[in-house]
A and B are shown apart, each in its own frame.
Chain A
Amino acid sequence: MTYKVHVRVVPRGGLLDPQGKAVEHALSALGFKDASGVRIGRAIELSIEAKSAEEARTRTRAMCDKLLANPVTEDYTVEVEG
């Protein structure tokens, strides 16, 4: 069956995220001083043919390891719908 998968890729914790930092400053300037730890990454959606949700997850993790995320600088999470 077809599974819809959501991948989130974020800069690894501890690594400087200049974009996140700039947005955090902007939020603070707008009065959202209660916001902290802003990190900016990317969201990737895809559909995958698989026999089970587990298989869909395993295949997607392989995609992340090979292409979707950089193992040096990024972490990722995989969420399978249904």
Chain B
Amino acid sequence: MRRVAVVRFPGSNCDADTLHSARRAGAEAYFVWHRDTDLQGADAVMLPGGFSYGDYLRSGAIARFSPIMSAVQRFAQAGGPVLGICNGFQILCEAGLLPGALIQNSRLSFVSRPVGLRLEQPDTAFTTAYARGQLLRMPVAHGDGQYVADAATLAELEATGRVVVRYVELDGSTLRTAINGSLHDIAGIANTGGNVVGLMPHPDRAADPTLGSTDGMGFFTSVLTWATAGAGR
């Protein structure tokens, strides 16, 4: 489990950060272009942050039909690990690989700042490096980050432990002021297999000591060892 494909869409702007982070974690990481149709033997796929296709229509709505996304769909459905960060999370929701949707922040403004996160589910392809309940600090930078889903979907996510990270205050206490209005303070979720994970905060901007936090590094190291752990599922 070493080859990590980072997909570049027109408008991606965290593609280099994501590649850098994956390499720092020890992966053999490389870019694939949105018009490609082959993941080139990837062991894991990452959809980076940015504003693919200018966020036209809805964030992620057009990227989801990129040629490369057919390969990503097949890869994910076969159990391959796929991580969507920020715009990547929006694309995964639009593609139906994760439930729910990300709509405009409740207070209408773009939010760009460090947030606290509680790691709720270490048993996914991208979170085995963390302990349940661990407090993480990472930046968010998004205008459309409000996670919404119908009541049945939310109840199922909670009951099956598929909320991966939840917003908390920087000191770890329950969120007092909404970051973006996400239901249940959800910052990231997983699919039923735990192989597809999406989150709005940026582990790729918190995976190098130069940037002030390495709390996000676990997302990149976890997947490198997940294949063997995942085989026992």
Which A residues lie at the B interface, using CB under 8 A? Answer: 11, 15-16, 18-19, 22, 67-68, 70, 72-73
Q: Which of B57, B62, B100 makes the CB contact (< 8 A) with A72?
A: B100
Q: Are B150 and A72 in contact (CB under 8 A)?
A: yes
| Number of A-B residue pairs having CB atoms within 8 Å of each other in the complex | 33
- Choose from B58, B149, B181 the contact partner of A16 (Cβ within 8 Å): B181
Contacts of B108 in A (CB 8 A): 18-19, 22
Chain B positions near chain A (C-beta within 8 angstroms)? 57-58, 61-62, 65, 93-94, 99-101, 103-108, 148-150, 181
Are A70 and B61 in contact, CB atoms less than 8 angstroms apart? yes
Please determine whether B104 and A72 come into contact, CB atoms closer than 8 angstroms.
no
Least CB distance from A6 to B in Å reads 16
Residue in A18, A70, A72 whose CB lies within 8 Å of B105: A18
Given A15-B148, A18-B181, A67-B65; A72-B106 close (CB under 8 Å): no
Name A's interface SS. Answer: mixed
B100 neighbours in A (Cβ, 8 Å): 72
Asked if A18 and B107 make an inter-chain contact with CB atoms under 8 angstroms apart, the answer reads yes
Q: Chain B residues with Cβ under 8 A from A72's Cβ?
A: 93, 99-101, 148-150
B106 contacts which of A16, A68, A70 (Cβ < 8 Å)? A16
What is the distance, in angstroms, from B70's C-beta to the closest C-beta of chain A? 14
Residues of chain A within 8 A of B149, CB atoms compared:
72
Chain A residue nearest to B153 in the complex (CB) = A72
Q: Is the CB of B57 within 8 A of A67?
A: yes
A68: nearest residue on chain B (CB-CB)? B57
CB neighbours (8 Å) of A18 from chain B are: 104-108, 181
- The CA of A68 and the CA of B62, in the complex, are separated in Å by 10
